[in-house]
Amino acid sequence: MISNAVVSTPIHRAGDRGWLIDVPPGHIAPLVLECRHRAWFSLIQDLVPAAASILVTAHSVDDMPRIRTLIDELLSEFDPTTAGDGVDGDIVTVPVVYDGEDLDYVADVLHLDHERIVRAHTGATHRVAFFGFAPGFAYIDGTAEQLSIPRRSSPRPRVDAGAVAIAGTQTVVYPGGTPGGWHIIGHTDEVLWNIEWDHPSRLAVGDRIIFQEVAR
C-alpha cells in the first residue's frame, strides 16, 4: 500500500451520471492529470475540479458502477508525490512587473522586503489547480508559505486584466472586469484569457506556471 494514497477519500453520487470525489486541495491537479491519462478516460464526459473536490461525469448512466470501481482503484494507487510524472500539463511563463498596489502592505504584514517577496514568488513551483468564480479565473497553487496572507477585508469592485495577486498559498492572474479581494503584487501584459479565441483560456488544470520578474 502506498503511504500517500488517498484511499479513504469519500465519494458521493451526484445525479444519475456523476461521482463527486472529496480531494485534499493539494491533490486536485495531480489527480485530474492522472484521470486524464487512464485508458478508461473515454468513459468520462467531463472532469470538474474545485477547491476540495472533483466531479466526474459519465457519458452513460450504464457505466456508473464500472466508473466507481475504476475510481476506487485509482485512489488506492494514487501517490500525489509522483502523480503526473511524465504527464504534466504545459509550462506557461508569465512575465511580471512587481509593482502592485498591495505590495507595500504585503511587505509590512509579512515583515519581508520587496526583493524577498519577488524571490519567494518567482522561485516557487506553481500549478493550475482549478477554475472558478468567473470565466478565466484560474486558481494557481504553490505560492510559498512565507507569502501566505488572508484576503483583503474589503474587496475591490473591479480588477483589471493582468493583475497578479496572492491570497493564502495561491496566486491568480485576473482575467479582468471582476471584483477582487486578493492582494495585488504585480501585473503582466501576457494575455491568458480572451473570449475571442477558439479556446479562450491559455491555461488548463495541471499546467505549470513560471512567474518571471521583468522590468517596467
- Cα end-to-end span (Å), the chain: 52
What integer best gives the mean pLDDT of the chain? 90
Q: Are residues 103 and 206 in the same domain?
A: yes
Using DSSP's 3-state secondary structure scheme, residue 144 falls into: coil
Look at residue 7 in the predicted model and tell me its pLDDT: 46
Look at residue 87 in the predicted model and tell me its pLDDT: 53
Rounded to an integer, the average pLDDT of 113-138 is: 94
Using DSSP's 3-state secondary structure scheme, residue 114 falls into: helix
Lowest-confidence pick of 23-32, 110-119, 142-151, 185-194: 23-32
The CATH number of the domain holding residue 130 is: 2.40.100.10
- Residues 113 and 152: their CA atoms lie apart, in Å, by 20
Q: Which domain holds residue 204?
A: 91-213
Task: Report whether pLDDT(1) > 50.
Answer: no
Condensed to tens digits (0 to 9), the pLDDT of residues 102-112 reads 999 999 999 99
Q: Are residues 125 and 180 in the same domain?
A: yes
Q: Are residues 100 and 199 in the same domain?
A: yes
Cα 104 to the chain's mean position, in Å? Answer: 26
